[in-house]
């Protein structure tokens, strides 16, 4: 599956579209849920990508 197709499918699922309803065990996935809420995305040359700009150290 191409990256963009996978991203769109996951996005639709979390929006409750296309009859998709993800189920997460909140008690066992606290770190996963926090990471998903805080992860940014950007539109790159090849479609959507994670935004890792905040992870790079400042140049001196």
pTM: 0.50
Q: What is the pLDDT of residue 60?
A: 57
Residue 60 lies in a domain: no
Which residue segment(s) compose the domain that 45 sits in?
Answer: 3-22+29-52
Taking a C-beta distance cutoff of 8 angstroms, is the pair 48, 56 a contact?
A: no
Residue 9 lies in a domain: yes
Pairing of strands 47-50, 41-44: antiparallel
Residue 35 lies in a domain: yes
At 1-60, the pLDDT tens digits run 888 888 888 888 888 888 888 888 889 999 988 888 888 888 877 777 778 777 777 675
């Amino acid at each position: 599956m191409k990256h963009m197709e996978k991203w769109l499918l996951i996005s639709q699922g979390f929006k409750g579209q296309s009859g998709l309803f993800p189920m997460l065990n909140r008690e066992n996935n606290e770190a996963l849920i926090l990471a998903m809420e805080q992860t940014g995305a950007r539109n790159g040359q090849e479609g959507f990508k994670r935004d890792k700009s905040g992870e790079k150290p400042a140049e001196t």
